[in-house]
Structure 1
């Protein structure tokens, strides 16, 4: 067991990718030798080391599939400033990462995102049509919702008056520009542009306290080539359901990669 753990550590490699804004994005490559690689995207105010992302990387590794987990700009070890909205900019970060690995001996076979990262991967798929497998977990369908609970009932008046809202408990400074960016991001219109050949897995917990699991069914209505899986009893971070999340996601990715075997061999 100790030898296996040492081998797992030796397969991790820190990789730095520069995004289109000149910021350095820091990530960890889990190298198994597979040509196909899966890019893993964390949620808001999280990082590549969030247990959902790290555990999924290990689960993929156990199936012989390489993965790369990285910090979006302004998160974790990456350069830049965290922004409340800016999901389209995070999709640009993802594009920089995909371009980096497409220039190596890897082929990016799938992208996964949790929460805000789930929205990021869907936005990416709506703009770029180069990834055959997309998995989103716990993404929000209507980005105009959920803001009042975080910023307060009078958030619009306050931000118009002061130009920002300081959420002391979260150490989060929400600017008017970042709020407007979130409010102007239309997930419905974006998801209508996802290629019909792109295989999409939609995962959500039935006890999600942050984003209603009904959002999963809204995505399912407009994404043509999808499969939906509701994890019964799971909260937003799948705290007591990590094993089921990993199994569902890895099985979906592994099966889809097998169907595209000529591309990834």
Structure 2
């Protein structure tokens, strides 16, 4: 679309002396944004706003969108903490408030990957704005938070020796040394994902996507979300499992975007029903 515009925003944080940096994609930048619908795209742990499928989706989505770096990631300021899910939720509240007060945007869709999905669902369950959202895409979201201890087995030797585990990771082509403490894992394990059973808004339509060879978050967690969110009305829940796909959908990014776009089109045409979602070579909605 010739008129599409990408704008980098620096949003002052409401809880910390830092800025959250993100990209606002606008389909009609010369038109008023007051009351206009927008999609939020949330990255996962050790990710960033242009990671995996996020940028690809934003550039193809038929709606304005905003994707940003959570606190301490890539271009955003502040301190990143391994167990700071509540801080991520505060970041999301800050972003929503800014988009609403500065532009007049109304959040219509939340797309989250992994940790971003868990935080997005918490915001939908606990915020006033979340009650007015139309849809949610949950990609690789963890439900059984205590399973973080499965991967924490690799940390135990260094925890016993030094009190923390140190790892070197690459985020946005930058090398970062991160320390993981036992209390970080404990904090994650105690996060209450069960809130979706009673607090998730009934009207929100949900697409859950998960790779069947995900070694970070077992695919069965997607089945649990399907059970928790599939009995609501008028909201629907669709489950899409991808064979041979890992947690980050390596080399499958376009497939993720295609699925989301097909689901969104079906939603807007009133063709969705709760159940298994078949796309591409396996069938059409």
Mapped partners of 1:42, 1:184: distance in 2: 21
- 1:263 aligns with none
Residue 241 (str. 1) matches residue 243 (str. 2): no
- 2:154 aligns with 152
Mapped partners of 2:268, 2:226: distance in 1: 22
Is the 2:152–2:185 contact (alpha carbons within 8 Å) kept by the matching residues of 1?
Answer: no
* CA deviation string 1:28-77 (max 9, x = no partner): 111112822111001111101213111111121xx3x1111100001010
Structure 2 matches for 1:20-39, cutoff 5 A? 20-22=14-16, 23-33=18-28, 35-39=36-40
Mapped partners of 2:108, 2:84: distance in 1: 25
Residue 17 (str. 1) matches residue 16 (str. 2): no
Is the 2:122–2:195 contact (alpha carbons within 8 Å) kept by the matching residues of 1?
Answer: no
Q: Structure 1 residues 179 and 97 mapped into 2: Cα distance closer, same or farther (>3 Å)? A: same
Is the 1:38–1:110 contact (alpha carbons within 8 Å) kept by the matching residues of 2?
Answer: yes
Q: Structure 1 residues 182 and 146 mapped into 2: Cα distance closer, same or farther (>3 Å)? A: closer
- 1:250 aligns with 261
- Give the RMSD, CA atoms, in angstroms: 2.5
- 1:262 aligns with none
Offset of residue 100 of structure 1: 1.5
Mapped partners of 2:226, 2:250: distance in 1: 24
- 2:94 aligns with 96
- 2:166 aligns with 166
Is the 1:163–1:175 contact (alpha carbons within 8 Å) kept by the matching residues of 2?
Answer: yes
Q: TM-score, normalised by structure 2?
A: 0.78
In the alignment of these two chains, the number of paired residues is: 248
Is the 1:151–1:167 contact (alpha carbons within 8 Å) kept by the matching residues of 2?
Answer: no
Q: Structure 1 residues 56 and 138 mapped into 2: Cα distance closer, same or farther (>3 Å)? A: same
* CA deviation string 1:172-229 (max 9, x = no partner): 2123443332122021234531111121211111222321111100111112342211
Residue from 75, 79, 82 that aligns with 1:81:
79
Q: Structure 1 residues 92 and 254 mapped into 2: Cα distance closer, same or farther (>3 Å)? A: farther
Q: Structure 1 residues 176 and 233 mapped into 2: Cα distance closer, same or farther (>3 Å)? A: closer
Mapped partners of 1:179, 1:168: distance in 2: 17
Q: Structure 1 residues 20 and 147 mapped into 2: Cα distance closer, same or farther (>3 Å)? A: farther
Point out the more displaced range, 163-172 or 193-202. 163-172
Give the number of the structure whose residues are more often helix, by fraction. 1
Mapped partners of 1:213, 1:147: distance in 2: 16
- 1:107 aligns with 106
Mapped partners of 2:41, 2:265: distance in 1: 15
Mapped partners of 1:175, 1:208: distance in 2: 24
Mapped partners of 1:153, 1:12: distance in 2: 41
Point out the more displaced range, 79-88 or 211-220. 79-88
Is the 1:123–1:191 contact (alpha carbons within 8 Å) kept by the matching residues of 2?
Answer: no
